[in-house]
Amino acid sequence: MLASKLKNAFLNLARRDVPTEETQPSFPVTELTEKQVATLQNSLGYVFKKKGLLIQSLTHSSYYLHTGNQLQSNQRLEFLGDSVIQLALTEELYKEYPKEREGKLTSLRSSFARGDTMADIARRLGLHQYIILREKERKAGIAEQDSSLGDAFEAIIGAIFLDSDWATARKVTLKLYGKLVPQTEQEERIANPKGKLQEMIQPLHGNDAIRYETTSEQGEPHNRFFEITVFCNDKAIGVGTGKTKKEAAEKAALQGLAAMEESK
C-alpha cells in the first residue's frame, strides 16, 4: 500500500514538474560534447529525451555560486533521485529477502543507499569526467570527491525519472546497482564504522556515551578539510580528517573501533 502511494506521488510529480521546451532553463551545454553525452548515456543504458535534464544533473552547485541561478544546479534533482533510489531499493529488498524483519531490511537498505556506495557506482560510470565545474574547482579535485559523485548519481536517477517514468527509473537504478548482496561483517565494519562503533559502545556505556566533535576546520569554502574527534565518556578514542565531515567522522570511528578492540 505504501509503495503504491509513493509510486502515485512520484507519477504526479513527474507530470507536474518535468520542464517543457519553453520552460527549461539555459544550461551550460558547451561543458559536455555530443560524444561525451553519447558515451555516458551508453554507460547508463538510457537515452534522454530532454538532454537539458542530463546536463542539469551533472552541474555541481558551485558552478552557479553567487550567480543567482542555483536552481539550475543538480541539487533539486539530487533530492528527487534520493527518494527514487530509496523506493527502488526498498521494493527490491522486500522481494529478495522475504524472511527478513523490518530492522534487517532497513540496515540492508542503508548499506546500499550510503553516499560512498553511490560514489563507487558513479566512479564505475566515470562520472568524474562529466561533472560540470568551474576550472578552479576541477583543479581542486571536487569532481573526485565522494560527495560530488554520490550527489551526481542521485541527480541522474532523478533526471531519468522526470524524463521517463517510475518503471524506467527503477529499472536503470537496479541495473546500475547489480545484485543486492549483503556485506560480510568485515565489509560492514568498513562501510559503516559509526554504526559498528555505536553497537560496540552502547551495551557497555549506554546510549549517550559516544559523541563526535569537529576539532579543526581549514581551507577555502569550496575545498574544506575537517578534523573530527570521537569521544567515549568524554575520552578521545579516535581522530579522523577528510574533505567532508562525514568522511572525517567515519575515519575517526575506524580509529575508535581499533582502540576499543585493543582495550578489551
> Which residues are catalytically annotated?
82, 154
3-state secondary structure 194-246: HHHHHHHHHHHHCCCCEEEEEEEEECCCCCCEEEEEEEECCEEEEEEEECCHH
Q: CB of 104 within 8 A of CB of 31?
A: no
| Residue 49 DSSP symbol | S
What is the C-alpha to C-alpha distance for residues 131 and 161, in angstroms, rounded to an integer?
19
Strand order across the beta sheet in which 225-232 lies = 210-218, 225-232, 235-242
DSSP 8-state assignment for residue 160:
H
User: What is residue 88's three-state secondary structure?
Assistant: helix
Beta strands in 81-224 (DSSP E): 210-218
